[in-house]
Protein backbone atom coordinates (compact mmCIF):
# COMPACT_ATOMS: atom_id res chain seq x y z
CA UNK A 1 0.00 0.00 0.00
CA UNK A 2 1.42 3.36 -1.05
CA UNK A 3 2.06 5.88 1.75
CA UNK A 4 -0.36 8.80 1.90
CA UNK A 5 0.59 11.87 -0.11
CA UNK A 6 1.90 14.56 2.25
CA UNK A 7 -0.02 17.85 2.20
CA UNK A 8 1.31 20.43 -0.20
CA UNK A 9 3.36 23.13 1.51
CA UNK A 10 1.90 26.63 1.32
CA UNK A 11 3.84 29.07 -0.87
CA UNK A 12 6.30 31.42 0.79
CA UNK A 13 4.39 34.62 1.76
CA UNK A 14 6.30 37.02 -0.51
CA UNK A 15 5.96 34.70 -3.51
CA UNK A 16 2.28 34.18 -2.77
CA UNK A 17 1.69 37.92 -2.52
CA UNK A 18 3.42 38.50 -5.87
CA UNK A 19 1.37 35.75 -7.52
CA UNK A 20 -1.81 37.16 -5.96
CA UNK A 21 -1.11 40.59 -7.47
CA UNK A 22 -0.52 39.04 -10.87
CA UNK A 23 -3.79 37.13 -10.66
CA UNK A 24 -5.66 40.34 -9.79
CA UNK A 25 -3.99 42.21 -12.65
CA UNK A 26 -4.86 39.38 -15.04
CA UNK A 27 -8.52 40.00 -14.20
CA UNK A 28 -8.26 43.69 -15.07
CA UNK A 29 -7.47 45.27 -11.72
CA UNK A 30 -4.84 48.01 -11.67
CA UNK A 31 -3.63 49.22 -9.21
CA UNK A 32 -3.40 46.37 -6.70
CA UNK A 33 -2.08 46.47 -3.13
CA UNK A 34 -2.01 44.56 0.14
CA UNK A 35 -2.61 45.82 3.68
CA UNK A 36 -2.05 44.07 6.99
CA UNK A 37 -4.87 43.86 9.52
CA UNK A 38 -5.52 45.73 11.83
CA UNK A 39 -3.77 48.50 9.90
CA UNK A 40 -1.63 51.43 10.98
CA UNK A 41 -2.08 54.79 12.66
CA UNK A 42 -3.57 56.45 9.58
CA UNK A 43 -6.45 53.99 9.54
CA UNK A 44 -7.24 54.89 13.15
CA UNK A 45 -7.39 58.55 12.09
CA UNK A 46 -9.80 57.66 9.28
CA UNK A 47 -12.05 55.87 11.77
CA UNK A 48 -12.05 58.93 14.01
CA UNK A 49 -12.92 61.12 11.00
CA UNK A 50 -15.85 58.83 10.21
CA UNK A 51 -17.16 59.30 13.76
CA UNK A 52 -16.98 63.10 13.45
CA UNK A 53 -18.68 62.95 10.05
CA UNK A 54 -21.54 60.87 11.44
CA UNK A 55 -21.95 63.09 14.49
CA UNK A 56 -22.26 66.12 12.20
CA UNK A 57 -25.09 64.39 10.31
CA UNK A 58 -23.27 64.62 6.99
CA UNK A 59 -24.46 61.15 6.00
CA UNK A 60 -27.95 62.51 5.38
CA UNK A 61 -30.35 59.59 4.93
CA UNK A 62 -27.59 57.00 4.50
CA UNK A 63 -28.17 55.34 7.87
CA UNK A 64 -26.11 52.32 6.81
CA UNK A 65 -22.94 54.41 7.11
CA UNK A 66 -23.26 54.10 10.90
CA UNK A 67 -23.05 50.28 10.78
CA UNK A 68 -20.57 49.44 13.61
CA UNK A 69 -18.93 46.75 11.46
CA UNK A 70 -17.45 49.56 9.34
CA UNK A 71 -15.11 50.39 12.23
CA UNK A 72 -13.72 46.86 12.63
CA UNK A 73 -12.78 44.72 9.63
CA UNK A 74 -12.49 41.68 11.92
CA UNK A 75 -16.29 41.55 12.21
CA UNK A 76 -16.56 40.91 8.48
CA UNK A 77 -14.19 37.92 8.50
CA UNK A 78 -13.12 36.51 11.88
CA UNK A 79 -9.42 35.73 11.84
CA UNK A 80 -8.66 38.10 8.96
CA UNK A 81 -4.94 38.83 8.67
CA UNK A 82 -4.59 40.58 5.31
CA UNK A 83 -6.58 42.58 2.81
CA UNK A 84 -6.09 42.69 -0.96
CA UNK A 85 -7.23 46.07 -2.31
CA UNK A 86 -7.94 46.41 -6.02
CA UNK A 87 -8.83 49.28 -8.30
CA UNK A 88 -10.85 48.91 -11.49
CA UNK A 89 -10.08 51.97 -13.67
CA UNK A 90 -13.30 53.10 -15.36
CA UNK A 91 -12.22 56.10 -17.39
CA UNK A 92 -13.38 55.69 -20.99
CA UNK A 93 -12.49 58.31 -23.60
CA UNK A 94 -16.07 58.61 -24.83
CA UNK A 95 -17.86 61.90 -25.39
CA UNK A 96 -21.38 62.83 -24.42
CA UNK A 97 -23.46 64.17 -27.29
CA UNK A 98 -23.96 67.95 -27.27
CA UNK A 99 -27.07 68.87 -25.32
CA UNK A 100 -27.25 65.51 -23.52
CA UNK A 101 -28.15 65.42 -19.85
CA UNK A 102 -25.33 64.27 -17.60
CA UNK A 103 -24.74 60.88 -15.97
CA UNK A 104 -21.73 60.10 -13.77
CA UNK A 105 -19.08 58.02 -15.50
CA UNK A 106 -19.17 55.17 -12.98
CA UNK A 107 -22.67 54.30 -14.18
CA UNK A 108 -21.95 54.15 -17.91
CA UNK A 109 -21.15 50.42 -18.05
CA UNK A 110 -22.30 47.27 -16.29
CA UNK A 111 -23.06 47.28 -12.57
CA UNK A 112 -19.59 47.53 -11.05
CA UNK A 113 -20.75 45.73 -7.90
CA UNK A 114 -21.38 42.58 -9.93
CA UNK A 115 -18.24 42.98 -12.03
CA UNK A 116 -15.86 43.50 -9.11
CA UNK A 117 -17.52 40.93 -6.86
CA UNK A 118 -17.38 38.15 -9.46
CA UNK A 119 -13.72 38.84 -10.22
CA UNK A 120 -12.78 39.02 -6.54
CA UNK A 121 -14.49 35.67 -5.97
CA UNK A 122 -12.37 34.16 -8.72
CA UNK A 123 -9.29 35.50 -6.93
CA UNK A 124 -10.57 34.09 -3.64
CA UNK A 125 -10.98 30.63 -5.15
CA UNK A 126 -7.51 30.89 -6.67
CA UNK A 127 -6.07 31.81 -3.25
CA UNK A 128 -7.88 28.91 -1.59
CA UNK A 129 -6.31 26.55 -4.12
CA UNK A 130 -2.86 27.87 -3.16
CA UNK A 131 -3.54 27.77 0.59
CA UNK A 132 -6.10 25.04 1.27
CA UNK A 133 -8.23 25.77 4.29
CA UNK A 134 -7.79 29.54 4.18
CA UNK A 135 -10.87 31.71 4.37
CA UNK A 136 -11.70 34.85 2.41
CA UNK A 137 -14.48 37.33 1.76
CA UNK A 138 -15.04 39.60 -1.23
CA UNK A 139 -16.20 43.15 -0.49
CA UNK A 140 -17.41 45.91 -2.79
CA UNK A 141 -18.58 49.32 -1.54
CA UNK A 142 -21.95 47.87 -0.52
CA UNK A 143 -20.17 46.04 2.34
CA UNK A 144 -19.76 47.84 5.70
CA UNK A 145 -16.05 48.43 5.19
CA UNK A 146 -14.06 51.68 5.31
CA UNK A 147 -13.12 50.93 1.73
CA UNK A 148 -11.23 54.07 0.67
CA UNK A 149 -9.24 54.12 3.89
CA UNK A 150 -8.21 50.48 3.41
CA UNK A 151 -7.32 51.16 -0.23
CA UNK A 152 -5.11 54.02 0.99
CA UNK A 153 -3.58 51.71 3.59
CA UNK A 154 -2.78 49.18 0.85
CA UNK A 155 -1.03 51.84 -1.24
CA UNK A 156 -3.57 52.12 -4.08
CA UNK A 157 -3.75 55.88 -3.77
CA UNK A 158 -4.61 58.66 -1.38
CA UNK A 159 -7.99 60.09 -0.39
CA UNK A 160 -8.35 63.48 -2.04
CA UNK A 161 -10.05 66.57 -0.68
CA UNK A 162 -13.19 65.57 -2.60
CA UNK A 163 -13.32 62.27 -0.70
CA UNK A 164 -12.38 60.07 -3.67
CA UNK A 165 -9.31 57.90 -3.97
CA UNK A 166 -6.64 59.28 -6.32
CA UNK A 167 -3.92 57.27 -8.08
CA UNK A 168 -0.93 58.91 -9.77
CA UNK A 169 -1.54 57.26 -13.14
CA UNK A 170 -5.30 56.64 -13.07
CA UNK A 171 -6.56 59.78 -11.40
CA UNK A 172 -9.70 59.30 -9.33
CA UNK A 173 -11.61 57.26 -11.92
CA UNK A 174 -11.24 54.09 -9.85
CA UNK A 175 -13.83 51.61 -8.60
CA UNK A 176 -12.59 49.83 -5.47
CA UNK A 177 -12.89 46.28 -4.18
CA UNK A 178 -11.30 44.28 -1.38
CA UNK A 179 -10.60 40.64 -0.65
CA UNK A 180 -10.26 39.88 3.04
CA UNK A 181 -8.31 36.74 3.90
CA UNK A 182 -7.00 34.80 6.86
CA UNK A 183 -3.68 34.35 5.02
CA UNK A 184 -0.83 36.42 6.44
CA UNK A 185 0.71 38.39 3.55
CA UNK A 186 3.46 41.04 3.46
CA UNK A 187 1.91 44.51 3.25
CA UNK A 188 2.64 47.39 0.90
CA UNK A 189 3.41 50.90 2.08
CA UNK A 190 0.39 53.16 2.61
CA UNK A 191 -0.03 55.91 0.03
CA UNK A 192 1.12 59.45 0.76
CA UNK A 193 -1.35 62.32 0.10
CA UNK A 194 -0.40 64.51 -2.86
CA UNK A 195 -3.21 67.07 -3.05
CA UNK A 196 -0.97 69.75 -1.59
CA UNK A 197 -2.54 73.21 -1.49
CA UNK A 198 -4.92 72.53 -4.40
CA UNK A 199 -8.56 73.37 -3.68
CA UNK A 200 -10.12 73.12 -7.15
CA UNK A 201 -12.66 70.50 -6.14
CA UNK A 202 -13.83 72.56 -3.17
CA UNK A 203 -14.21 75.69 -5.29
CA UNK A 204 -15.97 73.89 -8.16
CA UNK A 205 -18.76 72.25 -6.16
CA UNK A 206 -21.88 74.27 -7.01
CA UNK A 207 -23.58 73.61 -3.67
CA UNK A 208 -20.60 73.81 -1.31
CA UNK A 209 -20.92 70.14 -0.40
CA UNK A 210 -17.20 69.87 0.38
CA UNK A 211 -17.46 71.70 3.67
CA UNK A 212 -13.71 71.55 4.27
CA UNK A 213 -10.89 69.46 2.80
CA UNK A 214 -11.80 65.74 2.94
CA UNK A 215 -15.26 66.42 4.44
CA UNK A 216 -18.27 65.99 2.12
CA UNK A 217 -21.75 66.86 3.37
CA UNK A 218 -24.09 64.48 1.55
CA UNK A 219 -27.04 66.76 2.30
CA UNK A 220 -25.56 69.30 -0.13
CA UNK A 221 -24.27 66.82 -2.72
CA UNK A 222 -25.86 66.52 -6.17
CA UNK A 223 -24.86 62.85 -6.42
CA UNK A 224 -26.53 62.03 -3.11
CA UNK A 225 -29.77 63.75 -4.01
CA UNK A 226 -30.07 62.33 -7.53
CA UNK A 227 -29.37 58.77 -6.34
CA UNK A 228 -30.29 58.39 -2.66
CA UNK A 229 -32.94 61.03 -1.98
CA UNK A 230 -36.39 59.36 -2.02
CA UNK A 231 -38.43 62.57 -1.64
CA UNK A 232 -40.96 63.43 -4.33
CA UNK A 233 -39.18 66.71 -5.07
CA UNK A 234 -35.54 67.73 -4.70
CA UNK A 235 -34.61 70.66 -2.45
CA UNK A 236 -34.69 73.94 -4.35
CA UNK A 237 -30.98 74.63 -3.78
CA UNK A 238 -30.13 71.26 -5.32
CA UNK A 239 -32.53 71.49 -8.27
CA UNK A 240 -31.26 74.93 -9.24
CA UNK A 241 -27.64 73.69 -9.17
CA UNK A 242 -28.05 70.52 -11.27
CA UNK A 243 -27.05 72.16 -14.57
CA UNK A 244 -27.86 68.96 -16.45
CA UNK A 245 -26.77 66.35 -13.90
CA UNK A 246 -29.52 63.74 -13.43
CA UNK A 247 -27.64 60.68 -12.12
CA UNK A 248 -24.65 61.32 -9.90
CA UNK A 249 -22.14 64.12 -10.44
CA UNK A 250 -18.50 64.23 -11.61
CA UNK A 251 -17.78 67.95 -11.17
CA UNK A 252 -15.25 67.58 -8.36
CA UNK A 253 -13.43 64.86 -10.30
CA UNK A 254 -13.54 66.65 -13.64
CA UNK A 255 -11.62 69.62 -12.23
CA UNK A 256 -9.02 67.55 -10.34
CA UNK A 257 -5.51 68.11 -11.80
CA UNK A 258 -4.80 64.39 -11.51
CA UNK A 259 -7.66 63.83 -13.97
CA UNK A 260 -6.57 66.58 -16.34
CA UNK A 261 -3.56 64.68 -17.63
CA UNK A 262 -3.90 62.11 -20.45
CA UNK A 263 -5.32 58.96 -18.90
CA UNK A 264 -5.49 55.42 -20.31
CA UNK A 265 -8.94 54.66 -21.72
CA UNK A 266 -10.37 51.38 -20.47
CA UNK A 267 -11.04 48.70 -23.05
CA UNK A 268 -12.76 46.45 -20.51
CA UNK A 269 -16.02 45.27 -22.15
CA UNK A 270 -17.89 45.58 -18.85
CA UNK A 271 -17.04 49.29 -18.58
CA UNK A 272 -17.98 50.48 -22.04
CA UNK A 273 -20.82 53.03 -22.02
CA UNK A 274 -24.38 52.30 -23.01
CA UNK A 275 -25.05 54.66 -25.94
CA UNK A 276 -28.28 56.08 -24.50
CA UNK A 277 -26.43 57.37 -21.44
CA UNK A 278 -24.28 59.55 -23.70
CA UNK A 279 -27.29 60.99 -25.49
CA UNK A 280 -29.99 61.35 -22.84
CA UNK A 281 -32.73 63.72 -23.98
CA UNK A 282 -35.49 64.81 -21.59
CA UNK A 283 -38.14 65.05 -24.30
CA UNK A 284 -37.64 61.33 -24.99
CA UNK A 285 -36.77 59.99 -21.53
CA UNK A 286 -39.76 61.62 -19.83
CA UNK A 287 -41.99 59.49 -22.06
CA UNK A 288 -40.41 56.17 -21.15
CA UNK A 289 -42.58 53.78 -19.16
CA UNK A 290 -41.37 52.02 -16.02
CA UNK A 291 -40.87 48.89 -18.12
CA UNK A 292 -38.71 50.80 -20.61
CA UNK A 293 -36.58 52.22 -17.80
CA UNK A 294 -36.29 48.72 -16.34
CA UNK A 295 -34.99 47.36 -19.64
CA UNK A 296 -32.48 50.15 -20.13
CA UNK A 297 -31.16 49.80 -16.57
CA UNK A 298 -30.80 46.03 -16.57
CA UNK A 299 -27.45 45.04 -14.96
CA UNK A 300 -26.67 48.70 -14.26
CA UNK A 301 -25.61 50.28 -10.96
CA UNK A 302 -27.98 53.13 -11.88
CA UNK A 303 -30.91 50.78 -11.30
CA UNK A 304 -30.82 52.15 -7.74
CA UNK A 305 -32.47 55.25 -9.22
CA UNK A 306 -36.12 54.26 -9.61
CA UNK A 307 -38.04 55.32 -12.75
CA UNK A 308 -40.03 57.94 -10.82
CA UNK A 309 -36.75 59.36 -9.48
CA UNK A 310 -35.36 59.61 -13.01
CA UNK A 311 -38.43 61.61 -14.00
CA UNK A 312 -38.06 63.82 -10.92
CA UNK A 313 -34.39 64.44 -11.69
CA UNK A 314 -35.05 65.08 -15.38
CA UNK A 315 -37.74 67.64 -14.64
CA UNK A 316 -35.57 69.37 -12.03
CA UNK A 317 -32.60 69.48 -14.41
CA UNK A 318 -34.75 70.97 -17.17
CA UNK A 319 -36.53 73.71 -15.21
CA UNK A 320 -34.22 74.05 -12.19
CA UNK A 321 -37.10 73.88 -9.73
CA UNK A 322 -37.56 71.76 -6.66
CA UNK A 323 -39.06 72.35 -3.24
CA UNK A 324 -37.52 74.85 -0.83
CA UNK A 325 -36.48 73.32 2.50
Residues 177 and 205 in one domain: no
Residues 169 and 125 in one domain: yes
Pick from 52, 83, 76, 79: nearest CA to 66:
52
Q: What is the pTM of this model?
A: 0.93
Residues 225 and 264 in one domain: yes
Asked whether residue 242 is domain-assigned, the answer is: yes
pLDDT greater than 70 at residue 9: no
Asked whether residue 289 is domain-assigned, the answer is: yes
Q: How many CB atoms lie within 10 A of CB 259?
A: 18
Asked whether residue 324 is domain-assigned, the answer is: no
**What is the torsion angle, in degrees rounded to the nearest 10, for the CA atoms of residue 33, residue 37, residue 42 and residue 45?**
130
Q: Which ranges of the chain does DSSP label H, i.e. alpha helix? A: 13-26, 41-55, 112-130, 147-153, 200-204, 222-227, 236-239, 251-254, 257-260, 282-285, 290-296, 307-319
Give the pLDDT band of residue 21 (cuts 50, 70, 90): very high
pLDDT greater than 60 at residue 8: no
Asked whether residue 224 is domain-assigned, the answer is: yes
Predicted confidence at residue 2, as pLDDT, reads 56
Residues 172 and 34 in one domain: yes
What is the spatial distance between Cα 179 and Cα 82, in angstroms, rounded to a whole number?
8
Residues 59 and 150 in one domain: yes
Residues 163 and 17 in one domain: yes
Q: What mean pLDDT value characterizes the chain? A: 95
Question: Where a domain ends, among 181, 211, 242?
Answer: 181
pLDDT greater than 90 at residue 1: no
Q: How many CB atoms lie within 10 A of CB 169?
A: 12
pLDDT greater than 90 at residue 56: yes
65-229-149 Cα angle (round to 5): 30
Q: Under 8 Å CB-to-CB from 156, ≥6 apart: which residues?
A: 31, 32, 33, 85, 86, 87, 165, 167, 174, 176, 191
Residues 217 and 309 in one domain: yes
- pLDDT of 241-293, one tens digit each? 999 999 999 999 999 999 999 999 999 999 999 999 999 999 999 999 999 99
Q: How many CB atoms lie within 10 A of CB 16?
A: 18
Find out whether 84 and 179 touch, Cβ atoms under 8 Å.
yes
Total structural domains in the chain?
2
Residues 62 and 152 in one domain: yes
What value does the mean pLDDT take over residues 214-231? 98
The residue segments making up the domain with residue 269 are: 200-319
Residues tagged active-site: 141
Question: Where a domain ends, among 127, 154, 181?
Answer: 181
Residues 206 and 309 in one domain: yes
Amino acid sequence: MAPPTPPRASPEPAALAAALRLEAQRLGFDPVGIAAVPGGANLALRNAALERWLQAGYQGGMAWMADPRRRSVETLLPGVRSLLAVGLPYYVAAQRQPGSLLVARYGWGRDYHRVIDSRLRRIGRWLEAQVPGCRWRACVDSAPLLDKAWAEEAGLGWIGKHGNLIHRGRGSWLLIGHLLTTVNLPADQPAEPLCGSCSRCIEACPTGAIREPFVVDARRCLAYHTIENRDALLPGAIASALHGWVAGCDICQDVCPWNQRPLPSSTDPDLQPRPWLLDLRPEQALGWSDAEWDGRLRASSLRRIRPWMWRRNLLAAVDGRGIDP
